[in-house]
Each structure stands twice: as C-alpha cells, then as structure tokens.
Amino acid sequence: MAIKRLSTYCRQSAILCILGLLCACAAPADMVSETPDPGENFSSAQIREFTVDQPFMLSGDYFREKSYNRTLDLREIVSSGKKLETEQEDLKSRVAMLEKELAEKRGNFGPGTIPVSALQPDEVLHPFQVKVGLLIDRKKVSPLHAALLKRAARDAAEQVPVIFIPPGEVVEALSGTDCIRKKDLACVSRALGLYPGVRILILVEGFIVPEQAPGTLSLKLSMADTGLVFRYPGKEIDVPLKREADLAGMVQKIFTALFYEAAGKGRVMPWFCRTFSREKDLWYVNAGRESGLKPGDILDVVPGGKLVKAPTGVPAGWLPGNKKGVVRVERIFGRDAAACSLVEGRGPEPEDILMKGDRPGGPEESGSFSRLSPVHAKE
C-alpha cells in the first residue's frame, strides 16, 4: 500500500515539473504592443490600459452620455447678491415715489410725519379718504399667517391716508349674504359698498413664508373696486427675506405700498358715500368723522354714472350722471357715519351715490356726464 502511494506521488511531481519547464520556456505575455493582432479591435497596450492602468473604464457608466453643470463662478454669486439688493432698493424707491407724490397733494408732509389716526377731523391732510378693506382666504392662508397679515395691514394703514377696514368687519358685513360662497363680485360690492362703505377691497389669495431665511416671501392677491364693480388683474409679490426677524416689517412695507396703490385706484372715481338707512327726514350715510365729513357739508345725490375703460380693459375714468338732489350733513356719529337732511330735489336711495358738493349751501350744477377723473396709478 505504501509503495502504491509513493508511486502516485512521484507521478504527480513529475507532471508539475514538466509544466513548470514549459512555462519557463514559453514567451512572455505581450503587454506593450500597440498594433492589434489580426481579427482583434484593440492592441495589447490598450487592453493593459483598460484592465490594469485604468480599471474604472470597464464600467458602462463611463461611456454613457453626460450633461455637465455649468462651472460656478464666484463673481456670479456676488452679482446675484447685488441683484437682490438692487431689487429691494427698486421696491423702496417705488414706495418712496408714491409717498412723495401723495405728500405733495396733502400738504408736503413727509410719510409717517403725522399718523392719520392721531389727527382731529379738521386736521386730516387728505379730507376725503378711501376706505380699504382686507379679505383673507382662510382656506389658503393659515390662522397664524392671517393674524400676521392683519397686524401688518393695521400698522401700515396708520402711515397712509386711507381708512382700513379689517378682515373681521369685512366678514361680518358679508355674513348675512351668500356672496362669498357664490364668489359673486357684484354681490360683494353691493354689500360692502352699502356698509361699512368699503371702496377698494384687497383679497389675499395666498401667502407663503419661507421655512428659513434667507428665502423668498410670496403674496398672491387682487384688488376690487366696489364703486366700479371691477376686479383688477391679480398679482404675485415676491420679496427676498434675508432674516426671519425682518418678516413683520417686510409684510408691513408691502401693505404700505398696496395702500398707496389702493388710494391711487380710488381716484379713478370721485370720492362718494351711500345711504344705508332712513328715518323720516334723515338719511344715514356710511361716511363721517374718519372720512372727513363735517356738519354743514353739502352732498350731491347722483343716481349713477358711466365707467370708461382704457384699451387694456382697466378703468380709465368715471363720468357721473345727472344730479337729482342735494343733502346736507346735520351731525356726525359712530366711528364713521353721518345723518343728512334733504336740501333740494329728491332724496337718495341705497343704489345712489353721494358726492361732495363744490361749495357749502349751493353745489355747482352739473350736467349729464360732466366730470372725469383720470387714472393716477399705473397698473
């Protein structure tokens, strides 16, 4: 048995020796030849490069078509920052321009010099102010953000010659109607125009606050003129927000600009008020102390007028109809209401408008379509 195992071991050793001699005598592998062998597509040198020198090239991803991002230039980052600063400066300059224009018309007082809320009735710089209401879509704006918008609008209104009607009063005035459910602008205009006498309604339809700063603050809104029963094209306001601490101040600045714009749109049609109730020989109107009315003021009763539109479709002006009567303010009451008595002609109906007469005791007679108030605010 031992002899048999020894014989097998000798035979295997002999085979290994023969193989070793054959390998030693064979020619070395070609790893440098740059000429492909007949019938081959790659040379030995190329195969070595693929498999030994650069093995990652065997991956199929390497040969796929790629799209490369543009190289980021630090100069572009700096210029982008300058662009944001430029946009902010442009917004500030536009607000300042509107403030200056309005200041020139109200006695050259700088913006914020005298808060309108602190003035007495006979000291109001702009004697007949536009009532601007705010309505927030609660389905698209959270309660927290709605409260922020309300506070910012209230603070902004103290620096602009408008009478601010907060969302609560607007909703209360519409609560007895189904105008909001039907999304009926004519219905909303009749209700708010009658009482509390909102002239320009700002509808906030979206408000997006960035999760962290820096980011972009976005406000989606539109404006409606209840006197003209016209809704202006919607707009989206995007403002860069550098710090979270700037949020409240930035929203207030936006509302300041919006209120100046609303005041400009209010000039498309001359100032007016309406009667919302009658008791014997007294007519109660939706304007008083805050609007700038005083006892003894004369109001023309006008049954309606004609809206003139620009080629773009936005209001260009309004022409009043024939005057049908004259009323006089007898006394002021409430936050902003007055009681009037008939001086001549026919008394006002809720659909009529009451326009300020040109002189106490005897307003200037006006024929049909005698006045035109052009647009001052560019859309």
Question: Within this chain, do residues 146 and 261 fall inside the same structural domain, yes or no?
Answer: yes
Q: What is the CATH number of the domain that holds 163?
A: 3.40.50
Tell me which of 49-58, 74-83, 151-160, 332-341 is least confident: 74-83
Q: Flag whether pLDDT at 358 surpasses 70.
A: no
Position 24 in a domain: no
Are residues 136 and 216 located together in one domain of the fold? yes
Res 205: pLDDT = 94
Are residues 255 and 290 both part of a single domain? no
The label of the residue with tokens 């005791």 reads 361
57-61, 99-103, 195-199, 207-211: which has the minimum mean pLDDT? Answer: 57-61
Of 33 and 94, more confident: 33
User: What whole-number percentage of the chain has pLDDT above 70?
Assistant: 62
Q: Are residues 174 and 256 in the same domain?
A: yes
Is residue 171 domain-resident? yes
pLDDT at 148 over 90: yes
pTM exceeding the 0.85 threshold for the entire prediction: no
Q: Do residues 136 and 154 lie in contact, with contact meaning Cβ atoms separated by under 8 Å?
A: no
Rounded to the nearest 10 degrees, what angle do helices 74-105 and 247-266 cross at?
A: 40
Q: How many CB atoms lie within 10 A of CB 288?
A: 23
The answer to whether position 73 is within a domain reads no
**Which of 118-132, 194-208, 249-263 is least confident?**
118-132
Q: Are both 249 and 324 inside the same structural domain?
A: no
Joined tokens for residue 315: 């209001």
**pLDDT at residue 48 above 70?**
no
pLDDT at 212: 82
Four-CA torsion 345, 348, 354, 358, nearest 10 degrees: 10
Both 168 and 154 in one domain: the answer is yes
Q: Tell me the mean pLDDT in the region 292-305.
A: 94
* Residues 276 and 255 placed together within one structural domain of the fold: no
Lowest mean pLDDT among 6-20, 157-171, 239-253, 360-374: 360-374
Structural domain contains residue 46: yes
Q: Structurally, how many domains does the chain consist of?
A: 3
Statement to judge: residues 238 and 305 lie in one domain: no
Q: Which of 334, 346, 356 is nearest to 195 (CA)?
A: 334
Tell whether 149 is covered by a domain. Answer: yes
- For residue 142, tell me if it sits in a domain: yes
Say if residue 55's pLDDT is above 90. Answer: no
> What does the block give as tokens for 102?
């309005």
What DSSP character marks residue 53? Answer: I
Q: How far is CA 176 from the centre of its chain?
A: 29
Q: Is pLDDT of 91 > 70? A: no
Range of the domain at 49: 29-59
pLDDT at 146: 95
pLDDT score recorded for residue 363: 36
Instruction: Tell whether the model's pLDDT for residue 81 goes beyond 70.
Output: no
Q: Work out the mean pLDDT of the chain and round it to a whole number.
A: 76
119 or 334: which carries more pLDDT confidence?
334
CATH of the domain at 304: 2.40.10
40 and 165, same domain (yes or no): no
Backbone dihedral angles phi then psi of residue 176, each to the nearest 5 degrees = -85, 5
- In contact, 308 and 315? CB cutoff 8 Å: yes
Residue 44 CA to residue 38 CA, distance in Å, equals 12
Is the domain of 230 the same as that of 298? no
Mean pLDDT of 260-274: 93
pLDDT higher than 70, residue 97: no
